[in-house]
A and B are shown apart, each in its own frame.
Chain A
Amino acid sequence: MRWVRRGGLSTLIFFIPLLASFGLFSWWPILRSLLLSLQRTNFLTSEWVGLDNFARVLRDPLLLTATWNTLWFAILAFVIGFPVPVILAVFIGELRRARRLASALVYLPVIFPPVVAVLLWKAFFDPSPQGVFNTVLGWFDIGPVPWLNSGDLAMPSIVLQATWASFGTATIIYLATLMSIQTELYDAAEADGAAVSRRFWHITLPQMRGVLLVMFLLQVIGTFQVFTEPYIMTNGGPENRTVTILMLIYRYAFISGDYGRATALSVLLAIVLSALSAVYLWATRRWSTS
């Protein structure tokens, strides 16, 4: 009864809707996919197959291709996509009058529904000489470039679109961090005669490192789950050069109707992402206290 008097009951009552909705829409599906990964099912009858689905996933030569492609996407997204918002945030931060307008403009691409944006860029990447990018390149006697039709260029092209679609959010977050840096630090540096580059290197970057690390880890987790862009733009082609892990899961489930294999690969991906999340939690704790 003490428990009730101390508010245990009301806490429980308030908790029930939360538990129910999480249980029904999060935990049960997670548990269900764990079970499915150990079964062969047609959704009418199911048969326990142990780790056979995992073995079949690991035997699929396409897994290596998809893993490499996903990593390649992550690397390219880091090289192309990571510095852009940092630079833009610093640049916008330096603006005196047009900062709000610039922030709004930078954020604009995020407002586009992803499918619309991807389709728009697909038209830009039209490989014919009449394509948008190829027309521009044509003015300088370059091309036509095959873009998505080239095994070497397809993934960088997708990363270019993905960067465009997402850099707005990152820029705004960096900008907010920049605005919170004490201006006295800059004033002091300026009084000491430090140039812009030195101020950036010695004040801005160290002040932003916590946010930068968090954004980096979030980006890595996000890139491991890339699906929409390659699915719409190339459907994994040419020659599977843009097949990602999530696309492979999709193909197992919806093209082959093999839900056991699809959930097995999902579980494997979840394990990798959980490991990354653990690193993320450890690092954020460490960096926030340092």
Chain B
Amino acid sequence: MPPTNVRKSAAALSASAAAFALLSGCAAESPSQPGSVSITVAGQPTQENPDQLKAFKRKITDFTKANPGITVTGDESVFDVNTFQALVAGGKLPTVSYVPFTEMQGIIARQQAADITGYVGADAAVKRINPSILKVATSPDNHVYGVPVQAYSMGLLYNRALFTKAGLDPDAPPKTWDEVRAAAKAIHAKTGAQGFGAMTKDNTGGWVLTTMSYAFGSKIQSDDGKQANINNAATRGALEFYRALRWDDDTFGSDFLIGYKDITNALAGGKVGMIVQGADTYTQVVQALGMKPDDFGLAPMPQAPGGLGTLGGGSVAIINPRASAEEIKAALKWIDFAEFGKYNDEQAAVTGAKAAAADKLPVGAPVLPLFDQATTDRYLTWVKDYVNVPREHFTAYFDSAKTLPLVPEPAAKAQETYGILDNVVQAVLTRRDADINALLDDAQKKVQSAIDAG
């Protein structure tokens, strides 16, 4: 879930960045409907990025050459929580747009994306997507409302330069929460920087706390989304961990009204040693904030005994709910071409990676395999000459993706739950005498009544 605007835009942008990276060359396929249909597709780069724009336009040309009945128009919109509803209301949502994982269940509940279940053929790429990833775009009654195009999992992000300065080995990041605590102490003592940090507002505090709860061993909601389970031992454990770092060790900093932009700035600027965040943050901190690629550290989400795994995130391509059947078909073809061509065609993969590297976009960023590992490995072999991300630093993260389970977000009222938990996190970090048990009891009641309200 990327709850702030910036984060959401970043997620959608990075997905579309992956899309423009691909320059085509896909085998020509004759369109099933020679009649003409027009679609608009989000993610078109702005004029400020002429190379990426050129690449995007070329991709449209290649697509329309292969599908002469389809007219594609690029649209510069990127997902923004403040404008999404207005786009829907004004009928201006592009035929294809990209939204973060965390928004999907709300969009499905409000019926703001087209149901594509009936349009996905047996041989479609969607069918090969890892089921645990496809679940984010699937409704409780098993209808599919979008195509995940990029996925990542939450991990422990750290500043390798600060680790070195603090006398810690950046190639051996903490594996347990006790080790995280010890590393935070060392970083604070030796460098003066904040050892560990967490976001607290815009629903991000609750989002990260949910991830922490999974790592400490409990979900916060029943799988059917009917029962809140906020006050559990794991969440209490996670909050006790926060409390210890804040009030006992003083390694948690002093500002507890911070969001995604603040925490990524702090990580990139060497103001904080470790944060819990999505692995895709690499693109944001390296590309947008200028952090040295070699300073970006990424470790698997540490697990307490009985830990359940980690939370996943990413980007989903959705289709305008007002789209006609023909437009949906054309949009699905576009998504397949733009997002997945690189996994099937070596030339497409190489051309895309070459252009991306030339534009200084990350090639080989730490994301999760959308399909199976073999498909991802094959793609990486094709583009190995253009990989500009120090993937050797993320070996443990990549290895963990094979074993560490991806736990989905709460099925019902996720954003409201996160909002309520923001307050719990803020209380623990701003009040020394905060009663964790009472706070969680109160949150439990509020979340349950939000769920019951439907």
Give chain A's interface residues, CB within 8 Å of chain B: 42-45, 56, 61, 126-128, 144, 146, 148-151, 233-240, 251, 253-257, 259
Contacts and interface: CB of A to CB of B under 8 A. Distances in A.
A235 B85 contact: no
A77 B374 CA distance: 63
Contacts of B201: 234-237
A257 B446 contact: no
A128 B423 contact: no
B52 to A, nearest CB: 29
A255 B200 CA distance: 16
A238 B426 contact: yes
A235 B201 CA distance: 7
Which of A126, A144, A254, A259 has its CB near the most chain B CB atoms (within 10 A)?
A: A254
A257 B88 CA distance: 11
Interface of B: 81-82, 85, 88-89, 106, 110-112, 200-203, 253-257, 259, 321-322, 415-416, 419, 422-423, 426-427, 430-431, 446, 453
Given A44-B111, A128-B253, A151-B430, 15 more contacts: A42-B88, A43-B112, A44-B88, A126-B255, A127-B254, A149-B254, A151-B431, A234-B257, A237-B257, A238-B427, A239-B423, A239-B427, A240-B423, A253-B85, A255-B419
A45 B256 CA distance: 40
A258 to B, nearest CB: 9
14 contacts: A43-B88, A43-B112, A44-B112, A44-B321, A126-B255, A127-B255, A149-B257, A234-B201, A237-B200, A253-B85, A254-B81, A255-B415, A256-B416, A257-B106
A238 B256 CA distance: 8
Contacts of B446: 61
Given A56-B453, A151-B430, A146 B85 contact: no
Contacts, number: 77
Q: Which 9 A-B pairs have the closest CB atoms?
A: A43-B89, A238-B426, A42-B110, A235-B201, A127-B254, A128-B254, A238-B430, A43-B88, A239-B423
Which of B111, B254, B419 has its CB near the most chain A CB atoms (within 10 A)?
A: B254
Contacts of A149: 254-257, 430
Contacts of B89: 43
Given A42-B112, A151-B431, A257-B110, A238 B257 contact: yes
B99 to A, nearest CB: 12
A234 B201 CA distance: 8
A231 to B, nearest CB: 10
B5 to A, nearest CB: 10
A235 B261 CA distance: 14
Nearest to B442: A61
A256 B111 contact: no
Contacts of B253: 128
A128 B430 contact: no
B271 to A, nearest CB: 10
Given A56-B453, A149-B430, A254 B254 contact: no
Contact of A237 (B82, B106, B322, B422): B422
Nearest to B419: A255
A237 B423 contact: yes
B111 A42 contact: yes
Nearest to A258: B110
B82 A256 contact: no
A206 to B, nearest CB: 45
